[in-house]
Amino acid sequence: MEQNINLEKAESLKEEANELFKKQNYVKAITLYSNAIEFNPNSAVLYANRSFAYLRTECFGYALEDASKAINLDKTYVKGYYRRAASYMALGKTKLALKDYESVFKARPNDKDAKLKFNECSKIVRQQAFEKAIAVDTIKKCISESINIESMSLESSYNGPHLIDGKVTKQFMEELMEAYKDQKKLHRKYAFKILLDVEELFKSQPSMIDVTIPEDQKFTVCGDIHGQFYDLMNIFKLNGLPSTENPFLFNGDFVDRGSFSVECIFTLFGFKLLYPNHFFMARGNHESQTMNQMYGFEGEVKSKYSMQMAELFTEVYNWLPLAHCLNQRVLVMHGGLFSRDEISLDDIRVTDRNRQPPEEGIMCELLWSDPQPMKGRSPSKRGVGIQFGPDVTARFLERNHLDYVIRSHEVKSDGYEVAHDGKCITVFSAPNYCDTMGNKGAFINMNGKDMKPQFVTYDAVPHPDVKPMAYANSLMSLFG
């Protein structure tokens, strides 16, 4: 096919795309960079720019591809290596990222930023190698077994909420949320107690939870919260507090990016303990150690509590259920469907979840996959999981006698999206995601009788002046 090369046109489209990028309109910027590439397919700069826009929209697989193309076109183009290193970091592939940071550092030995990123990445790779060596040498003991709650004393100066006889009560939850709104902290003794109790509760549950919704009862499904505590409070203001009469399901990605993740997770875990049969939580791809190290949750827990607590969170997250089936009609998971047609609900039920998310298979795809408009399956834009088309959804629903699926995992400008002929619904509950995306948030209400989704959308509310990613790994500044 003869290429229609027009360097002037490509340059003009690039300038336009750069302006859109500055205004944080990444999706439109990607379209224009793509148009520019058609007019000048040999420009490393265009691929690197589009790679950066893909990074911003969390399409790490595509970002990686574009960065590699930029490097292939120009082996000396430093930004190409920067972008590829960032893509590898986002995917938790730290050794590959280190190779690219090393290339940047060798090319620019006097560049402070290059040196800083190379050193920081080296540190992470060494730390991971050390942790791996320890794990091999010793039988991995449960963090929960090493925690002695009784030895933790309550200082007389502590004026926050108290557990009653070691239990979460409605009064405790109301006081906890008020304390968090005032940026106060829950005592570490109570924080540890909640974590240990909720771990035992999750341990007793299967990987897929069957939920029964009575005919006349409302049920609410929320998507990603991502550490946006004040928006979580707004959800409860709009929809009422969780109770036995007002059940909720939070569909993963409770933490990371937003800098009030600790407040979010203890609020949600508290409600789980208070209403164990009417408050549900599913694991998202961000309830994992690699993501928490990169995107801020580990840093936030270390800052507000301790590394020991961060390790306990990792252990607790391993026990979160992977999916919920509502009235045997609707399947809810964080990511999406599978690379194989024959997967059944029973396969999900027996999936071993007590581990870090693997790179492939049922658990990986439940946490990472995304829908696509065209039929069939494609490699994931994220570099993990797959993309699945309307035909894949239709076959899965038919095979498992389901009406539709609900998933989260993707920012949507309206807070939700109905795709695949109404059979695949995305719900995302973090409005103005990362204080930059300008999207609405949404949650879904339905009743047990007809299970029809009703969407409630809302805008972001103000929050104290702590920026998103405030606790993230410094290498993530490439995204900022």
3-state helix, strand, coil in the chain (%, to 5): 50, 10, 40
Let me know whether 285 and 417 are in one domain.
yes
pTM of the model: 0.92
pLDDT at 224: 98
pLDDT at 140: 58
Let me know whether 78 and 168 are in one domain.
no
142 within a domain of the structure (yes/no): no
What confidence tier does 190 reach under pLDDT thresholds 50, 70, 90?
A: very high
pLDDT at 135: 66
422 within a domain of the structure (yes/no): yes
Phi then psi dihedrals of residue 441, to 5 deg: -100, 165
CATH number where 437 lies: 3.60.21.10
Let me know whether 102 and 15 are in one domain.
yes
Span 370-378, mean pLDDT?
97
Span 169-177, mean pLDDT?
98
Q: Which residues are tagged catalytic?
A: 286
Q: What is the mean pLDDT of the chain?
A: 94
DSSP, res 476: G
Instruction: Compute the residue count for the chain.
Output: 480
Let me know whether 66 and 189 are in one domain.
no
E strand residue ranges, 372-465: 377-379, 386-388, 404-407, 416-419, 424-427, 441-447, 454-458
pLDDT at 355 over 50: yes
The tens digit of pLDDT for each residue in 139-148 reads 456 888 989 9
pLDDT at 139: 47
Structure tokens at 255: 């933490």
Let me know whether 232 and 254 are in one domain.
yes
pLDDT higher for 97 or 473? 97
Phi then psi dihedrals of residue 468, to 5 deg: -60, 155
Span 61-87, mean pLDDT?
95
Let me know whether 463 and 341 are in one domain.
yes
Span 149-169, mean pLDDT?
95
411 within a domain of the structure (yes/no): yes
140 within a domain of the structure (yes/no): no
pLDDT at 2: 47
Domain membership of residue 45 as a residue range:
7-135
pLDDT at 238 over 60: yes
What confidence tier does 3 reach under pLDDT thresholds 50, 70, 90?
A: low
Let me know whether 105 and 240 are in one domain.
no
Domain boundary among 135, 161, 193: 135
Number of folded domains in the chain?
A: 2
Let me know whether 335 and 404 are in one domain.
yes
pLDDT at 137 over 60: no
Let me know whether 161 and 13 are in one domain.
no
Let me know whether 312 and 423 are in one domain.
yes
Domain boundary among 112, 135, 158: 135
The tens digit of pLDDT for each residue in 6-39 reads 999 999 999 999 999 999 889 999 999 999 999 9
Span 397-418, mean pLDDT?
97
Let me know whether 130 and 164 are in one domain.
no
The tens digit of pLDDT for each residue in 270-314 reads 999 999 999 999 999 999 998 998 899 999 999 999 999 999 999
- In sequence order, which residues have a C-beta less than 8 Å from that of residue 144 and are 6 or more positions away? 195, 196, 199, 312, 315
CATH number where 74 lies: 1.25.40.10
pLDDT at 138 over 60: no
Domain boundary among 103, 135, 167: 135
pLDDT at 136: 58
C-alpha span between 354 and 307 (Å, rounded)? 21
Let me know whether 16 and 47 are in one domain.
yes
C-alpha span between 46 and 37 (Å, rounded)? 6
The tens digit of pLDDT for each residue in 418-448 reads 999 999 999 999 999 999 889 999 999 999 9
